[in-house]
Amino acid sequence: MDTEKVKTISRGRHALNMALQKQDDETKHVTFCTDNCTAQNKNWVLFTACIILVNEDWSPESITFEYFQPGHSFMKPDSIHGQIGKKWKRTSEVLDYGDLKRFTKSSNKLNTIISLRARNFKLFTSGCTQRNKSSSIPKLKDRKCVQFRKGSRKMFFKQELEDDEFSEASILKPKFILELPETVRSDRGINTKKEDIIVRDLLPHMTPRKRIFWMNLPSFDDL
């Protein structure tokens, strides 16, 4: 058994918890190769989640994010998105979630569709201390690689991907407790006003079977 097995994943930010739980026992180090989008892939909530998750008993020994820079090669997910877009344009009707899953899977024979439920998501929040001028916490936009290690509350980082050594910084509030947050308890659903328009204008043109999805879809009102 290779005890130093490394699993590399592209763009895992939105399903971090699920992605880590689905790794086999031999995977000791997980690397996410992702774009340099601060809002999605480089933020304090995500990094708080990483420190919590890497310190779980079932988690890998390390979680690493390597951020692509201008001039780096075209990413595989971009190709997948393009294939799905082309398939969508050639599809006459997409009436419910079942249609969406079928044409997404058929756009590439290697595609696997995983449907996530509310229970698959955790309500992570930032546990990081506030950065100020005298702080040792680095600016996120300048980091090309960040890493989180089992047994540590720190963030390890590189200025450049080619750097040999990691620097480190304590980013969590001293009293922040490393524990998994609550699970999302219910589906958010679709805005009620949008649902009313769909039911009024589109459902009359659908078959009874296709209407089931929309009639059972949870809804909410904007505050």
Q: What is the pLDDT of residues 122-159, one digit of tens each?
A: 889 999 998 776 677 778 887 889 999 999 999 999 98
What is the model's pLDDT at position 6?
45
Residue 193 pLDDT > 80 = yes
Q: Are residues 126 and 220 in the same domain?
A: no
Give the pLDDT confidence of 95-121 residue by residue, as tens digits. Answer: 999 999 998 999 988 888 888 888 888
What is the model's pLDDT at position 36?
76
Q: Are residues 141 and 208 in the same domain?
A: no
The per-residue DSSP string of 120-180 comes to G-B-----BPPP-TT--PPPGGG-SEEEEETT--EEEEESSTT-SS-EEEE-B-TT-----
* 178, 128, 120, 101: CA torsion to nearest 10: -150
Per-residue confidence at 67, pLDDT binned at 50, 70, 90? confident
Q: Are residues 193 and 161 in the same domain?
A: no
Position 199 in a domain: yes
Cβ proximity of 173 and 129 under 8 Å: yes
By three-state DSSP, how is residue 104 classified?
A: helix
Q: Do strands 219-220 and 5-10 pair parallel, antiparallel, or not at all (unpaired)? A: unpaired
Position 88 in a domain: no
Mean model confidence pLDDT for the chain:
83
Per-residue confidence at 209, pLDDT binned at 50, 70, 90? very high
By three-state DSSP, how is residue 83 classified?
A: helix
Q: Are residues 156 and 214 in the same domain?
A: no
CA dist 165 and 205 (Å) reads: 62
By three-state DSSP, how is residue 31 classified?
A: strand
Residue 188 pLDDT > 70 = yes
CA dist 6 and 143 (Å) reads: 22
Per-residue confidence at 205, pLDDT binned at 50, 70, 90? very high
Q: How many helices (H) and strands (E) would you count in the chain?
A: 7, 8
Q: What is the sign, positive or negative, of the torsion defined by CA atoms of 21, 25, 29, 33?
A: negative
| All residues at 6 or more sequence positions from 121 whose CB lies less than 8 Å from its CB, including other chains | 17, 183, 184
Q: Which residue has the higher pLDDT, 22 or 140?
A: 140
Q: Are residues 125 and 160 in the same domain?
A: yes
Per-residue confidence at 50, pLDDT binned at 50, 70, 90? very high
Q: Which residue has the higher pLDDT, 71 or 4?
A: 71
Q: Are residues 129 and 209 in the same domain?
A: no
Name the token pair of 208: 């009874």
Q: Which residue has the tokens 């569709």?
A: 113
Q: Are residues 219 and 124 in the same domain?
A: no
Mean predicted confidence (pLDDT) in 69-96: 78
Listed residue (44, 11, 68) closest to 140, CA to CA: 44
Residue 84 pLDDT > 60 = yes
What does each C-alpha distance from 159 to 124, 142, 174 come to in angstroms? 27, 7, 25
What is the model's pLDDT at position 56?
93
- Return the minimum-mean-pLDDT range out of 74-78, 193-197, 214-218: 74-78
Q: Are residues 124 and 64 in the same domain?
A: yes
- Which domain does 219 fall in, by range? 188-223
